[in-house]
Amino acid sequence: MSNADWMQRDLRHVWHPCTQMKDHEQLPLVPIRRGQGLWLEDFDGKRYLDGISSWWVNLFGHANPELNAALSQQADTLEHVILAGFTHQAIIELSERLVALAPPGLEKCFYADNGSSGIEVALKMSLHAWRNLNKPEKTRFIALENSYHGETIGALGVTDIPLFSETYKPMLQAPLRAPSPDASLRREGETCADVARRAMAGMEQLLQDHAHEVAAVIVEPLIQGAAGMRMYNPIYLTLLREACDRHGVHLIADEIAVGFGRTGTFFACEQANISPDFLVLSKGLTAGYLPMSVVMTSNVIYDIFYDRYETLRGFLHSHSYTGNALAARVALASLDIFARDDVIVANQARSLAMAQALAPLHDHPHIHHIRQTGMVAAFDLVRDKANGTPYDWRERRGLAVFQAALKRGLLLRPIGNVVYFMPPYIITAEQIRWMVATAVEAINEALAAPASDSAELGPSIA
């Protein structure tokens, strides 16, 4: 069967995520037959380099033989067991390994099924901890402008991307919003650290006014991903940790997207030398194989729930697949690769190759704000670079780039006018050069086309 056949069958019964389904009257779906390493292959035999790690999850390539072997061995032994009242070897070993890798003081691991449900756990745990401490008034959260924390109700509440949250506003608890430390907001003469300090002043004011009713501050450390790879200086996190301590408010670090080496260190928080009260991990946790998330916290928080007499002081949250053995086993195999291949160090050469490939783009008339943190690089497409005038979202230039790149065998998924690269950690310097050069060709084609080509479609989304 061809791509077209599979697409026709798909559209009868499959409702796709983050998609206005009517778009597929014009935009072909890409049915993938198999994946191998960096490459995805469709049913017409065309191959695509996965430049976005399939929504930021894949670390060591598709159908990785080592991960496959670990998975199949685990499947032959134990695929899953209820984690309430029972336990198993993979989850014990994974928890030990994560605690050894995490910033100091994070000693307990609570598992959930995906990023958003991990965020729900962190929010609930923070609120519940304050309740157990006889501070039931601490029920609010502070989140940053342009934040993204997922799409379940609690997570969407602290998300600041109206495209995703506006419709559901009646269901959401509105958080307090602090200014984003996004380095691209720097004013004339300001450094990235200056922007971070300026944003921190806004956060400080919120904490001063509201700490008595605030359970936690939640942030995406170093990169606000879904808002368009907005990057910021680690000083913000150092100052934030200090302010949260001073005001008696928890700090939740959502490292769902940036954990496991994306920012150049194993965890982004390391660059600010801080330990959050809650560290939320998912995506790269299982190297892109299976949905799993974990909330890591301290013994101090854990002890607040520990009580002989009162069940309700315990954290009664549960998911059927909590601590799934297959997911835990593949996560362990992924950590083995990190250790054996010294991946964080090896990625320094990859990051440098990305920086070198991007350097000539500074002269491109429509590429602005080139930025990079570790293994994540991004830039904005602008109509007029001198004034930084963006393309109108209705022109859907990002979508046109997606299509032009796909035609050339490269999977990119621009967020609005932001083009970014977040490849798996098996990419070579030569493949990086090809990826960036191909992206530029795609951009040139997309920007040369009349805007009306795609103007009938809605905004292009993450």
Ligand X SMILES: Cc1ncc(COP(=O)(O)O)c(C=O)c1O
| Alpha carbons 114 and 108: distance in angstroms, whole number | 18
CA distances from 454 to 216, 270, 399, 403 (A): 42, 43, 8, 11
The reply on whether position 138 binds ligand X by CB under 6 A is: no
Instruction: Supply the DSSP string of 403-421, one letter for each residue.
Output: HHHHHTTEE---BTTEEEE
Strand-pairing partners, residue 140, are: 214
Q: Name the one range near ligand X by CB under 6 A: 187-195, 252-260, 363-371, 376-384.
A: 252-260
- Which residue's CB is nearer to ligand X, number 276 or number 400? 276
- Residue from 83, 101, 102, 105 nearest 301 by CA: 105
Nearer to ligand X, 252 or 401 (CB): 252
- Asked if 35 is part of the footprint of ligand X (rule: CB under 6 A), the reply reads no
CA-nearest of 71, 77, 86, 112 to 320 is 112
CA-CA distance, 349 to 353, in Å (whole number)?
A: 6
Cα separation, 378 vs 284, whole angstroms: 19
> Given candidates 48, 110, 111, 148, which one binds ligand X under the rule CB under 6 A?
148
**Which CB sits closer to ligand X, 54 or 275?**
54
Q: Which of 29, 90, 243, 257 binds ligand X (CB under 6 A)?
A: 257
3-state secondary structure of 222: coil
Total chain residues near ligand X (CB under 6 A): 14
What is the three-class DSSP state of 144? strand
Q: Which residue, 154 or 225, is less far from ligand X as judged by CB?
A: 225
Tell me the residue number closest to ligand X, measured at CB. 115
User: Does 254 interact with ligand X (rule: CB under 6 A)?
Assistant: yes
Q: Would you count residue 226 as binding ligand X (CB under 6 A)?
A: yes
Instruction: Count CA atoms within 13 Å of residue 300 on its CB side.
Output: 11
- Helices in 315-427 by DSSP H: which ranges? 325-340, 343-358, 397-407
Give dist(CA 32, CA 28) in Å, integer: 12
Name which of 164, 190, 260 is nearest 221 in CA terms: 260
Contact segment (CB under 6 A) with ligand X among 111-119, 129-137, 171-179, 333-341 equals 111-119
* Part of the chain binding ligand X (CB under 6 A), chosen from 74-82, 147-155, 173-181, 335-343: 147-155
- Nearest distance from C-beta of residue 377 to ligand X, angstroms: 17
Q: Which is nearer to ligand X, 160 or 220 (CB)?
A: 220
Q: At 427, is the secondary structure helix, strand, or coil? A: coil
Exposed, middle or buried, 177 (CB in 10 Å: 0-12/13-18/19+)?
A: middle
Q: Does 225 bind ligand X (CB under 6 A)?
A: yes
CB of 390 vs ligand X, minimal distance in Å: 22
Q: How far is residue 310's CA from residue 98's CA, in Å, rounded to a whole number? A: 30
Shortest distance, position 154 Cβ to ligand X, whole Å: 11
Stretch that binds ligand X, among 85-93, 94-102, 207-215, 250-258 (CB under 6 A): 250-258
Residue 409's identity, in one-letter code, is G
Site string for ligand X, 163-182 (x = CB under 6 A): --------------------
Specify the 3-state DSSP secondary structure of 58.
Answer: coil
Is 115 an interacting residue with respect to ligand X (CB under 6 A)?
yes
Q: Please, which residue, 279 or 400, has the CB nearer to ligand X?
A: 279
Compute the least distance from the CB of residue 422 to ligand X, in Å.
Answer: 11
| Residue span binding ligand X (CB under 6 A) among the ranges 115-123, 242-250, 263-271, 356-364 | 115-123
- Residue from 220, 270, 277, 380 touching ligand X (CB under 6 A): that is 220
Among 114, 146, 322, 324, binds ligand X (CB under 6 A): 114
Contacts of 376 (CB under 8 A, 6+ apart): 223, 229, 231, 258, 262, 263, 420, 421, 422
3-state secondary structure 256-308: CCCCCCCCCCCCHHHHHCCCCCEEEECHHHHCCCCCCEEEEECHHHHHHHCCC
Which 421-450 positions form the footprint of ligand X (CB under 6 A)?
none
The single residue among 256, 296, 427, 447 that binds ligand X, judged by CB under 6 A, is 256
Mask of contacts with ligand X, 263-282, x by CB under 6 A? -------------------x
Interaction between residue 298 and ligand X (CB under 6 A)? no
Structural tokens at position 205? 């004011």
**Which of 53, 58, 74, 116 is the binder for ligand X (CB under 6 A)?**
116
Binding window for ligand X (CB under 6 A); candidates: 60-68, 102-110, 202-210, 218-226: 218-226
Site residues, ligand X (CB under 6 A)? 114-116, 119, 148-150, 220, 225-226, 254, 256-257, 282
